[in-house]
Amino acid sequence: MATLGNPQNTIEILKKYDFMFQKRFGQNFLIDTHVLEKIIKSAEITKDDLVLEIGPGIGTMTQYLCENAREVIAVEIDKNLIPILENDTLAQYDNVTIINEDILKLDLNALVKERNGGKRIKVVANLPYYITTPIIMGLFESHVPLQNITVMVQKEVADRMQAGPGSKDYGALSLAVQYYAKPYIAANVPQNCFMPRPNVGSAVIRLTLHEEPPVKVKDEAFMFALIRASFNQRRKTLVNGLTNAAELNLSKEEVQAALEELGLPATVRGEALTLEQFAELTNVLAK
């Protein structure tokens, strides 16, 4: 089968099935073979791997995954794409399972247990940008056994995931991602690599899951509540940000004492703290 990464072949398939793009599903199909090869290489796919693809579209990247992985599970929400995948673009592969479902509703732990004996899998996707954060955070927080997640995301989102203290992109997403994984931006991808063209630039980012979290905290949920409160009011000092957050129920004196214990100035802002410092703060303040 001719690769769909060639735009002519994609146009042919779309015409054959009279396919109408659904904006609400964030459909921007890849039409660049170099980018597709780059994604497969970055994900470090081998014939041992079970790969979960989120949103196969017409199967452009899925074909590459089928060639390179042991087994592929492709989860697509748009029922109009299923006949294209089953009868046409993936028909020649016997190592792919197509599931017509919303990825946010699927029990991935059960799926990995059943299909990979609970062993760690890889996730690859050109993500629908409207649900990038819920998908990534959902994968992390449900503790699905994962080796890495290699995804196309909006360029700004990739920058935020990789940012550290002192950068304007640093925030709650950076800390959440870096608590679970090591980010690496593998490529920046221009708009003309997609059909239709998105309104924003894109990037491929690989998130390699930590074997152990890089910091130890008494209460994970409390640390993330502290982080959210610190960045909710970016221009405020950490003391004000944390004491203004009603759900944390912290007094000014408590926060000031904790900062002193950590050797941080009373006027410090959340955006100056590293993940290690947020973890220390959590361990001092957690009751």
Binding site for ligand SAM (CB under 6 A): 25-30, 54-57, 60-61, 75-78, 102-104, 126, 128, 131
Question: Distances from the Cα of 6 to the Cαs of 10, 12, 14, 38, 81, in angstroms?
Answer: 7, 10, 13, 15, 19
| Shortest distance in whole angstroms from residue 78 CB to ligand SAM | 4
Angstrom distance (rounded) from CA 283 to CA 186? 35
Residue with smaller CB distance to ligand SAM, 77 or 158: 77
| Shortest distance in whole angstroms from residue 209 CB to ligand SAM | 21
Number of residues that this document lists for the chain:
287
Please name which of 153, 220, 218, 122 lies closest in space to residue 180, comparing C-alpha atoms: 220
Contact between 267 and 237 (Cβ < 8 Å): yes
Question: Distances from the Cα of 16 to the Cαs of 64, 89, 193, 233, 261, in angstroms?
Answer: 22, 12, 22, 52, 67
| Shortest distance in whole angstroms from residue 62 CB to ligand SAM | 7
Residue with smaller CB distance to ligand SAM, 17 or 25: 25
R_g of the chain computed on alpha carbons: 21
| Shortest distance in whole angstroms from residue 228 CB to ligand SAM | 24
* DSSP code string of 66-94: HHHSSEEEEEE--GGGHHHIIIIITTT-S
Residue with smaller CB distance to ligand SAM, 98 or 239: 98
Angstrom distance (rounded) from CA 14 to CA 7? 11
Residue with smaller CB distance to ligand SAM, 26 or 165: 26
Residue with smaller CB distance to ligand SAM, 28 or 237: 28
Residue with smaller CB distance to ligand SAM, 77 or 112: 77
Q: Which residue's Cβ has the minimum distance to ligand SAM?
A: 55
| Shortest distance in whole angstroms from residue 76 CB to ligand SAM | 5
| Shortest distance in whole angstroms from residue 26 CB to ligand SAM | 5
Q: Can you list the positions of beta strands (E) in the chain?
A: 29-30, 50-54, 71-76, 96-100, 121-126, 146-154, 181-189, 194-195, 202-209
Helices 132-141 and 172-180 sit at what angle, rounded to 10 degrees? 40
| Shortest distance in whole angstroms from residue 150 CB to ligand SAM | 12
Residue with smaller CB distance to ligand SAM, 153 or 173: 153
Contact between 131 and 26 (Cβ < 8 Å): yes
Residue with smaller CB distance to ligand SAM, 40 or 77: 77
| Shortest distance in whole angstroms from residue 70 CB to ligand SAM | 20
Contact between 262 and 280 (Cβ < 8 Å): yes
